[in-house]
Structure 1
Amino acid sequence: MSRGGAINLTDLSGGQVGEWLQSFDTILCDGDGTIWQDDTAIEGAPDVLNALQQRLGKKVYLITNNGLKTRQELFERSQRLGFHLPSDRYIISPTAAIADYLVESPDFDRARHKVYVVGNAAIARELRQHGIDSFGAGETEQLAPGDLWPDFVAREFGNPEAAKDVGAVVVGWDEYFSYCKMARACHILCSNPDSAFLVTNRDAVHKYPAFCIPGTAAFVAGIEACSEREALEMGKPNPLVLEPLTKTGELRAERTLMIGDCLKIDVGFASNCGMLSLLVGTGRYSNLSDVRREKGKLAQPDCYLPRLADLLPYL
C-alpha cells in the first residue's frame, strides 16, 4: 500500500485490510469530528477503538488539540461516552503537554515562577494539578470607559512587579481576548527574555455548521507580532507532543497509525512524525473527492473511511 495514496479501505478485500491492520501496533486518535461531536460519541466509534484494543491488542491513545478541558476531564468524557482507555495516561492534550513541559524545563521554577494565561480556566486547572501557579485564565481585562491605553500601560506596567517572576506566557482559545491581555503578554515576554511562550494549538478557525469563528492562531498571532517572539506549539501537528512517548520507546512512529478528520492538522501531524494515517469523513471532509482536490496543497492520508465505524466488520 503506497504512502499518501488516500485509499478507501472499503474498496479493499478483507485480507488486504487485515494485512494493513498488522502494519501498526499503536493508534493515536483525534477526538472532535473523529470519534465524538461535542459531548456525543459518533456512532460505532467506541466499538471500533475498544475492539482494536481488546481483540487485536493495539495500544490506543486519544490525542486532541482541545485546550478547553484538562487531561482528566477529557478522560472522564471518553469513559462516559463508552471508550475504554486504561487511564488518563492515554490522553494527549495541549493543557497537559504545557504543564509537563514547564515541569521538565530547567528554566522554570515552580517554587518561584508563575504563569500568565491568555486563555480559558482549564489551563489554570491543569497547571494547578502540576503545582504551578497562574493568573489571568478565564478572566476579562478591558479598558474601562474613559480609560486611555497610555493610562492603562503606565498604571499596569510602570511597576517592575508586573512582570517579576512570570516564567511563562500561555495562550489558548480565549473568548475574552482583548487589547489589555495582548499588552500584558507583550510586556511580560519583552521584560523576561527567558520566559517560555507556549500556545495550545495554531488552529486558525473553529468550524460550525452555519458559521466560522477565530481559533487560537488568531490570538497568538497578535502577541507574536508585538513581542517579536514565536510561541512554541504544544499540540498537533508539532511532533514535540510525542517526545515523552518516543523517548521512552513506548511509541514507535513507524508502527503507529494516526486517525483524524483534518488534513492540515491530523494528516499533517502523521506526516511530520513519520506515521501512517487514516482520514475519516465525519469531520471536515465528507468524501474522498474533496480530499484528493487538496493534493499538492495538503498532505494526503494513506487511507480513508467515510466513518470510523466502517472498520468494525474487519475486526
Structure 2
Amino acid sequence: MFKASGTNLLDLQAEQLSDWLKGFDTIISDGDGTIWFDDTPIEGAVEVLNALQSRAGKKVYLITNNGLKTRHELFQRAEKLGIQIPNEMHIISPTQTIVDYLKQHKTFDRTKRVYVVGNAAIARELSEAGIESFGAGKAEELQPGDKWQQFVQREFSTPTAAANVGAVVVGWDEYFSYCKLARACHILTSNPDCLFLVTNKDAVHKYPKLNIPGTGAIVAAIESCAERPALEMGKPNPLVLEPLLSTAGLRPERTLMIGDCCKIDVTFARNCNMQSLLVGTGSYQLDTLRENPQLPMPDVYLPKLGNLLPYI
C-alpha cells in the first residue's frame, strides 16, 4: 500500500491507518531504540505492543542484534518492562540463532569446541545447548615484557592450537586484543572447515552524546586477516527469520517490521519481503532520510511507536 514511500502514518485519516494495520497478522519489533533504551521503556511503546496482541489479535515477536544477553535473559528484560509476549520463543536473538545454526549444520561436530571472541552470554547460550566453548568474557593480552613473536610461538607452534575447534563465534567484546585477533586468525586459516559466525555486523553503536565501535569493527579485523567472510546471525540477514517461517507459519507479506535504524531494520524488512515501520526514537528521522536519498526508505514512519496506540 505504501511501498517504500516513507509515509508518515500521522498524516493519514484514522480509518486509513486502521485499514493499513488490518493488513498484518504478525508484528516483529526491534528492541533497543524502538521499545527501550537500556532498561528504560520508551513512552507508549510497551503499551502499543501489548495492545497489538490483546486488542488487535496480532502475533508479536521481539528481535534484537544484542549479543550481550541470552534469549532467556532478553525475555526476562521484556517481562520486567511489562511486555506481555507469551514466552521466550517470541524473542529472536543472535545468541540463539547461533546455537540453532550450529545444531543444524551438517559439518559442525558437536564434540568440538567453539572459540568465542565476545561476551559471556554467548558462552552461556552455547553451554545450555551442550556445546563447549572457550575465550568468552575474558581478557587475553600480551604480558609486560612479552613480544608478539613470543606469544605467537608459544601459543600457535603446535597443531593442538587449532585442533578440535569447530567454529569461531564473534560478538561485541570489550576485551578485544591483538592476542584474540591472532588466535581467531590462526584457527580460521588452519582449518577451512571451521565455521565463522558473528552476532551482527553493526559497525557503530550510536548514543545521544557519543558513538562507540560496534561488533562490525571487530569482525572486520578478523575477516581481514583470516581472508574469509563471517556469516551474520543477526539483522539484516534473512537467515534469522527461517525458524519462524518454518514453524510459526509466518507470512512475510502480512508481517510488519518495526525498528529505529534504516540501515539494519529497514534493510532486514526488505530482505525478508516484509513492510517496514521506522520510528524516530533512534538515530534516523524522516527528514534525515529525505536529505540522504542513499539510505533505504521505510514504507511508513512514526515519530515514536507510542503514536500508534490511539489507532489500535
User: TM-score, normalization: structure 1?
Assistant: 0.97
Q: Could you tell me which amino acid in structure 1 is paired with residue 286 of structure 2?
A: L
Q: Please state how far the C-alpha of 1:248 moved relative to its aligned partner.
A: 3.4
Distance 1:128 1:255 in 2: 36
- Counterpart Cα distance in 1 of 2:220 and 2:304: 34
Q: Secondary structure at the match of 1:257?
A: strand
Q: Distance in 2 between matches of 1:213 and 1:314?
A: 37
Post-superposition shift, 1:109?
2.0
1:44-63 equivalences under 5 Å are: 44-63=44-63
Q: State the number of aligned residues.
A: 312
SS class of match (1:143)? coil
Look up the match of 1:254: 253
CA distance in 2, matches of 1:102, 1:173: 19
1:1-315 equivalence runs, <5 A: 1-110=1-110, 112-248=111-247, 250-285=249-284, 287-295=285-293, 297-315=294-312
Q: Percent identity?
A: 67
Q: Is the 8 A contact 2:68 2:172 kept in 1?
A: yes
Note if contact 1:279-1:304 (Cα within 8 Å) is conserved in structure 2.
Answer: yes
SS in 2 for 1:156: helix
Q: Is the 1:118–1:137 Cα contact (8 Å) retained in structure 2?
A: yes
Distance 2:238 2:191 in 1: 27
- Give me the TM-score of the superposition, normalised by structure 2: 0.98
Report the Cα distance in structure 2 between the residues aligned to 1:209 and 1:306, rounded to whole angstroms: 16
Following TM superposition, by how much is the alpha carbon of 1:249 offset from its aligned partner in structure 2, in angstroms? 5.4
Q: Bigger CA drift: 158-167 or 59-68?
A: 158-167
* Deviations 1:121-165 (CA, angstroms, capped at 9, x unpaired): 110011111111100000000111111111111100112111111
The aligned amino acid for 1:126 is E
Q: Tell me if structure 2 keeps the 8 A contact 1:224–1:231.
A: yes
Residue by residue, what CA displacement relative to the aligned partner does 1:17-55 show, whole Å, maximum 9, x if unpaired? 011011111111000000000001111111100110111
**Contact in 1 for aligned 2:289/2:295 (Cα 8 Å):** no
Unaligned residue ranges in structure 2 (runs of 5+): none
Contact 2:94 2:234 (C-alpha < 8 Å) held by counterparts:
yes
- In structure 1, distance between residues paired with 2:216 and 2:286: 27
Query: Runs of 5+ in structure 1 lacking a partner?
Result: none
RMSD after superposition: 0.9
Structure 1 distance, partners of 2:54, 2:127, is 34
User: Secondary structure at 2:235's aligned position in 1?
Assistant: coil
Residues 279 and 304 of structure 2 are in contact (CA less than 8 Å); yes or no, is this contact kept in structure 1? yes
Deviation of 1:294 (Å): 2.6
